[in-house]
Structure 1
Amino acid sequence: MQTALFDLPAAQAPAVPAPRPDRHTPLRLGEMPTSSVPAAYDREHLYSPKEGTAELVDHRPGDVFGPLSIAPREPKVWGTWWKTEASVPTPDFLGLIPGNVITVVRANTATVVSTCRFGAIVRYKLPASPWATETRASMYVIRRNQYGHWYR
């Protein structure tokens, strides 16, 4: 029996690993977590609506807080607003609690350090660099896209 050029022995295809849910599998659309702050899902992004926009979008009210008021533009008034309203600690922010490990847009993974009405502070590792002295950085996250990546 002759073997043709394209006759190959029957072999099983190698197993393809399932895609990581935090990278390639979209989250269920419209899913709003139970949270101490209001939660809205619009155009495939989860966020906490602020005063003025909460009235315009379908949202789940917060268990503890209402929509955050709009930030004033004057620096001294803004500082007072930040201290007395925006940075007030919360038990969670859109389902994030301190200790959660999440995926952020500009870093691989980050750990939630604290939460407030404005957002969640996360800490992530910086890439090794001969001229950098810092090994970690922090940032606020206030939104999540449909792939589970959090961003500001």
Structure 2
Amino acid sequence: MDTIALFELTATPPAPPSAPQRRRFPQRRAPLPLGELPASSVPAAYDREHLYSPKEGTAEYISHRPGDVFGPLPVSRPGKAWRAWWDNEGSASTPDFLGLMPGDVIPVVDVGTVTVLSTCRFGALVRFEVPVGAWNRKPYAEMYVTARNQFGHWYR
């Protein structure tokens, strides 16, 4: 009687990859020190041990370090004007966001360790792995982080 094999086994194991994969962002930087305002292209402030970039309308009332390139982010406009605000103000590319640069590996609240993909005036875009399933087709998810808590973890 013939049996049906579910897997075809070979006598020799597959060869390991010939060259190690190059990392897209090979540099590793030390995490930002807690309690210090980082030199950044956007304004930086502390409130109850949380680091964030103050927005227009609140920056006038708090002590903050001005940004090297940008001032406080203007308040977003409601409705259809939001898209123009995002294209012109919120998503303007920056060299860093509160000291974060593309390629940095940072801890994010409720997610774990993630990699910073890009930075803009609004925040830092990060990517993290997620299992593929019925609700998601990609093996990763992306989100913006805009603040850091007193334990060094970033969040939105």
User: What amino acid sits opposite 2:55 in the alignment?
Assistant: K
Q: Find runs of 4+ consecutive structure 1 residues off by over 6 angstroms.
A: none
User: What amino acid sits opposite 1:81 in the alignment?
Assistant: W
Structure 1 vs Structure 2 CA RMSD: 1.5
In 2, distance between residues paired with 1:95 and 1:101?
12
* CA apart distance, 1:72: 1.0
- The partner residue of 2:151 within 140, 147, 150 is 147
In 1, distance between residues paired with 2:149 and 2:34?
11
Task: Give the gaps of 5 or more residues in structure 2.
Answer: 1-30
User: What amino acid sits opposite 1:97 in the alignment?
Assistant: M
Task: Give the gaps of 5 or more residues in structure 1.
Answer: 1-21
In 2, distance between residues paired with 1:69 and 1:149?
25
> TM-score when scaled to structure 1?
0.77
Q: Which has the higher contact order (CA 8 A, sep 6+)?
A: 1
In 2, distance between residues paired with 1:133 and 1:59?
42
Partner of 1:80: 84
Q: Please say if 1:108 is aligned against 2:125.
A: no
In 1, distance between residues paired with 2:56 and 2:132?
42
Between 1:79-88 and 1:130-139, the stretch displaced more is 130-139
Partner of 2:19: none
User: What amino acid sits opposite 1:125 in the alignment?
Assistant: E
In 1, distance between residues paired with 2:94 and 2:60?
22
* CA apart distance, 1:130: 5.4
In 2, distance between residues paired with 1:32 and 1:133?
39
CA 1:130 to 1:86, structure 2 compared with 1: closer, same or farther past 3 Å?
Answer: closer
Are the aligned partners of 2:114 and 2:126 in contact in 1 as well (CA < 8 Å)? yes
User: What is the identity percentage for the equivalent residue pairs of Structure 1 and Structure 2?
Assistant: 61
Q: For residues 3-152 of structure 1, what are the structure 2 equivalents within 5 Å? A: 28-29=34-35, 31-73=36-78, 75-126=79-130, 128=131, 131=134, 132-152=136-156
Aligned length: 124
* CA apart distance, 1:28: 3.5
**What SS does the aligned partner of 2:37 have?**
coil
User: What amino acid sits opposite 1:98 in the alignment?
Assistant: P
CA 1:129 to 1:115, structure 2 compared with 1: closer, same or farther past 3 Å?
Answer: closer
